Amino acid sequence: MSTVRVLTSNREPSSTTNPYITMLTAALRRTPGVEVVTFSYRAALFGRYSLVHLHWPETVIGLGGGRRAGVLGRWVLAALLLVRLTVTRTPMVRTVHNVELPADAGRLQRALLRWFDRLTTHRILLNDRTESPGPATTIPHGHYRDWYTGPRSTMLPGRLQYVGLVRRYKGVEGLVEAFRSVADGSVTLGIAGAASTHELAATITTLADGDPRVTLRFGFLSDDELVATVTAAELVVLPYRFMHNSGTVLAALSLDRPVLVPDTPVNADLAAEVGPGWIHTFAGDLTRDALLAALSAAREPRTAAPDLGAREWTGAGAAHLAVYRAALSRAGSGVRA
């Protein structure tokens, strides 16, 4: 079979790239029959490729910040790319990381994102609970055991830790409020990760003010810093208001730390997959009682490490190539999802 030349929606991986993207790019480049072209507008608009593999389309259209002139320019370039893909009927594969449009997308941005959706030929789902309006294949999110290899910290009894990007839908404000009502002075809380806005960081800082048990660190974490931060925790707490897929859950599990997450069908499936004692859940708004109950449960005996055998990277490249070939075949038949 001929080589599939795939344009990915991510730029060439760097030290600050999402590790999932870096590991997937490496897996694809190890796979015979795949040639990876990482994203640039020059490559996207004028380059040669067989199909497009899209992850977070909002990054292509510049959602999330920047000077207004630059953002407007990216909207124009994204529209030109969409025109090219429409006219040439180039197939598009989309990995479904988020099931809803970004809350901060404006009218024009939503129109561009829906255009990407309409052009999608085949979807890659990270779990079997994700619904798809067209052809789809589930390829589970891989683990990070081979990625996060830096020095580990000694676990601090009573340490609750949030880690990852701090965005409003992730409920960090509610975590701080729930923690402030915990009377036990031996329980501490850490918040570590870059905040999406200065206003959100200021809100969380105000909520935590006056409690010396709360440690805030707003900013990018290097891989080694993330390893040190997560492994110092007795329990990683991800108080999301909505959670469907989460690489941070897998990062914590890859570092052998139990996690408190919302009670969802996806998280229930993950709990059954990795074994008892690793995934703890809360329903509704996060409360003091839920925090203390999860911390107590995390102290019960469990296996030395969660079972992540279903999330090895060895077959990821071949699984993606099979999807690419299915998308090309479908596009060649003149059928659009």
Tell me the pLDDT tens digit for each residue of 93-128: 999 998 877 666 778 888 999 999 999 999 999 999
Residue 262 has pLDDT above 80, yes or no: yes
Average pLDDT over residues 179-184: 96
Residue 299 has pLDDT above 50, yes or no: yes
Residue 191 has pLDDT above 90, yes or no: yes
Average pLDDT over residues 55-73: 73
Please indicate, yes or no, whether residues 131 and 256 belong to a single structural domain of this protein. no
Q: At a CB cut-off of 8 Å and minimum separation 6, what does 95 contact? A: 53, 54, 55, 123, 124, 126
Q: Which domain holds residue 135?
A: 4-142+312-332
Please indicate, yes or no, whether residues 183 and 105 belong to a single structural domain of this protein. no
Please indicate, yes or no, whether residues 170 and 267 belong to a single structural domain of this protein. yes
Closest CA to 104 of 198, 193, 165, 169: 169
Residue 20 is predicted with a pLDDT of: 96
Counted residue by residue, the chain has a size of 337
Please indicate, yes or no, whether residues 132 and 229 belong to a single structural domain of this protein. no
Decide if 153 is inside a domain: no
Average pLDDT over residues 221-236: 97
Please indicate, yes or no, whether residues 172 and 295 belong to a single structural domain of this protein. yes
Please indicate, yes or no, whether residues 191 and 301 belong to a single structural domain of this protein. yes
Please indicate, yes or no, whether residues 326 and 277 belong to a single structural domain of this protein. no
Decide if 149 is inside a domain: no
Decide if 148 is inside a domain: no
pTM, 2 dp: 0.91
Please indicate, yes or no, whether residues 51 and 169 belong to a single structural domain of this protein. no
Decide if 151 is inside a domain: no
Residue 336 is predicted with a pLDDT of: 45
Decide if 92 is inside a domain: yes
* Alpha-carbon dihedral angle through residues 244, 248, 252, 240, given to the nearest 10 degrees: -60
* Sign of the CA dihedral with 74 first, then 56, 169, and 219 last: negative
Average pLDDT, the chain: 93
Please indicate, yes or no, whether residues 75 and 113 belong to a single structural domain of this protein. yes
Please indicate, yes or no, whether residues 302 and 319 belong to a single structural domain of this protein. no
Decide if 45 is inside a domain: yes
* Number of domains within the chain: 2
Residue 104 is predicted with a pLDDT of: 66
Please indicate, yes or no, whether residues 23 and 65 belong to a single structural domain of this protein. yes
**Percent residues over pLDDT 90 in the chain:** 85
Decide if 154 is inside a domain: no
Q: How confident is the model at residue 64 (pLDDT cuts 50, 70, 90)?
A: low
Average pLDDT over residues 278-307: 97
Average pLDDT over residues 211-237: 97
Residue 17 is part of a domain; what is its CATH number? 3.40.50.2000
Please indicate, yes or no, whether residues 170 and 261 belong to a single structural domain of this protein. yes
